[in-house]
Amino acid sequence: MKMQAVTDISIFDCNRIAENTLWNLGDQKELLLHRIHAYPAKFPPFLVQKLIEYFEGDGKEIRLVADAFCGCGTSALESARLGKNFWGCDINPVATLIAKTKSRAYRPTYLRTLYKTIQTSASSSIVRAPESYHQNQRLNYWFDADTIDRLFRLLRSIEKFVPEGKYRNFFLTGFSNILKPCSRWLTKSIKPQIDPKKVPAIPLDAFDKQIKMMIKAVEQVQSSVDFQSRVEIVNRNLLNLRVQHSFADLVITSPPYVTSYEYADLHQLSAIWLGYTDDYRSLRKGTIGSEHHSDETESIYEQANRVAKDTYDKLCKVDSSKAKSVLRYFYDLDLAVQRIRQIVKIGGSVAFVIGNTSYKGIPVDNAKSLAQSLLDHNFKKVQVSKRKISYKILTPYRNQLGQFTSHSRGRKVYSHEYILTGEK
Ligand SMILES: C[S@@+](CC[C@H](N)C(=O)[O-])C[C@H]1O[C@@H](n2cnc3c(N)ncnc32)[C@H](O)[C@@H]1O
């Protein structure tokens, strides 16, 4: 699989790289377990498998795979499926809940017994949610009063009958994924907005469908994944992590987009119901690009890499506030590269999957800035490959509501992304 080597960043141009079709499609059917909970900007699972095989084909011994931005645990499940140990980190507690749920083994009969108990308890209860729930502005905004009561009864039944640990996480993940269908949230929108015409799903019905699907997903992996490997998933800010020693043979990761705070906004229903925060906006804190204040721009600019400075200078001419946020993003991404370098063993490898964007006609070349960071922090054999983003083949635009559409009047969504690799 040919990649283009990056040594001279001044002539590196992502647009001139030919698409490498080898990274476009997988040869195995995606596991149902990958679909138990919606999550934005997930990896296509086959990519993790192909990357592991790629490095092994290159003679690397891969025992432990790490993902510094593990999201909902696509790389965790795929690594476990291939018998690799795994370490993953994500700042979003909803992400790490899903990732933990997806990377453990369960007994389906026990899941069914627990589910029956939850169902019986929640459907026979007439308890109302406390006044604090009904007075919560966010809950009232998204849910009608009756749904708040029904969801409350369901959640309390899970907490009462399922002991803490992986089984409880399993049901909480299911609960989390029915919140949007049970609310007024515009279906499939990536922006938090109300659909005034929507008839929200009934919690117990939605939960029934959800849990049955999850148990089917568990049964599907029973024969193909032995879950003997060690999987550790931490809910942390990567940038604040103290890395005592390097431990990963391979890091496979995909950093958040420039506006990564959106991940927090998108999970506000789960974050509030699961008690992670009262104010979902606090989940934005610490995400890549949010660590510094705009009055620190000057000192950040001084330390930023060449591509970041260049992008900042160009963006400043059209929108200085956007320019500052892009600069902060590139700066944090550079810190993330340094942290990831600490995680990787000497001789170990890294693979980043990242897309580019533009703002008011100015290219925001995330791949180039990342390549620059890899070179600046002494990664060897830095290479890049271009792949087509498969789900955007049929729906390459976004409409004004942020939904994917095949209608060409919508905003064009980027159809390609880049895989950057390197070695420590
Ligand atoms: C593109 S998503 C990763 C998706 C993942 N590959 C998957 O398949 O689900 C990027 C992730 O970075 C996380 N993130 C943003 N800032 C972070 C930080 N400072 N430390 C750790 N994770 C962070 C976000 O919560 C988000 O889940």
Atom 1 of ligand 1, nearest CA residue: 256
For ligand 1, atom 7, the nearest C-alpha belongs to 42
The response to whether residue 300 sits with its C-beta less than 6 Å from ligand 1 reads no
The DSSP 8-state label assigned to residue 290 in this structure reads -
* Spacing, Cα 282 to ligand 1 middle (Å): 16
334 pocket-lining for ligand 1 (C-beta < 6 Å): no
**pLDDT tens, position by position, 133-177:** 999 999 999 999 999 999 999 999 999 999 999 999 999 999 999
Asked whether residue 354 carries a pLDDT value surpassing 80, the answer given is yes
What is the tens place of the pLDDT at every residue in 208-239?
A: 999 999 999 999 998 877 778 999 999 999 99
Beta bridge partners of 89: 234
Asked if pLDDT for residue 393 goes beyond 50, the answer is no
User: Is the pLDDT at 194 greater than 70, yes or no?
Assistant: yes
**Residue 55, ligand 1, Cβ within 6 A:** no
* Backbone Cα Rg of the chain: 22
Give the Å distances, CA to CA, from 65 to 49, 104, 417: 11, 16, 22
8 Å CB contact between 359 and 318: yes
Tokens of 241: 């992590």
Residue 348 CB burial class (10 angstroms; 0-12, 13-18, ≥19): buried
Residue 409 has pLDDT above 80, yes or no: no
- What is the reported pLDDT for 397? 45
Q: How far apart are CA 69 and CA 90, in angstroms?
A: 5
Average of pLDDT values for 105-131?
Answer: 97
Q: Is the CB of 239 under 6 A from ligand 1?
A: yes
Summarised one tens digit per residue, pLDDT across range 366-391 is 999 999 999 999 999 999 999 998 75
- State what percent of residues in the chain have pLDDT above 70: 93
Q: Give the mean pLDDT of 388-395.
A: 59
